[in-house]
Amino acid sequence: MGTALDWYFDVVSPFSWFALQRLDALPSEPALHPVVLGAVLSHWGQKGPAEIPGKRLWTYRVCVRYAQTHGIPLRFPAAHPFNPVPYLRLAVAAGCGRRVVHHVFEYLWTTGVDPRTEAAVAGAAERLGVSVDAAGEASVRARLRSETAAAIERGVFGVPTLAVGDELFWGNDGMDFALAYLAEPAVLDTAEMRRVAALPDGLADRG
């Protein structure tokens, strides 16, 4: 039996859209876990890159450049960041398989749609063949909350994150690291890797 793979994502993240394109490189299909990135960041006391002036523009430019360089379709939505919860709930209501998740990302990240509008949510629901009402059912809402809580409990601090067994690989660029680890787990067991894992915090006594 191969190592269990789990992929954590939020549709508000363009880097999740990029990493989604790379899941076929994995040796087996990962379990897909929708999470609310805002709740994850809040738990760890972090801000998203789009919440920091300067870093926001830099992040958008990096995304556009990456998409152009790698031939990935990308058109930023009409507003960003946006509330992803309605779209995550739609994905859950539609089963949250790879095809469903791809459709939601494609809708949000290639059409220039304004995700703040009711019409946009309705358009996503139509694409998925589910109703907006179904996405609001208690079981769907509870699933998204539990997925987010479980991700936090596991140590997920951002998206996308690929969990390979007990190891977490964060970010689209983390996919290369994950693939290297899958090919040779010893990459995390070198002398320097062990040393940095136990490195003391030089500012631990601050404040």
Among residues 13, 16, 28, 131, the one annotated as catalytic is 13
Alpha-carbon distance of 156 to 174, in angstroms, equals 13
The verdict on whether 13 is a catalytic residue reads: yes
**Neighbouring residues of 202: CB distance < 8 A, sequence distance ≥ 6:** none
Contact between residue 74 and residue 64 where contact means Cβ atoms under 8 Å apart = yes
**Neighbouring residues of 145: CB distance < 8 A, sequence distance ≥ 6:** none
Active site residues: 13
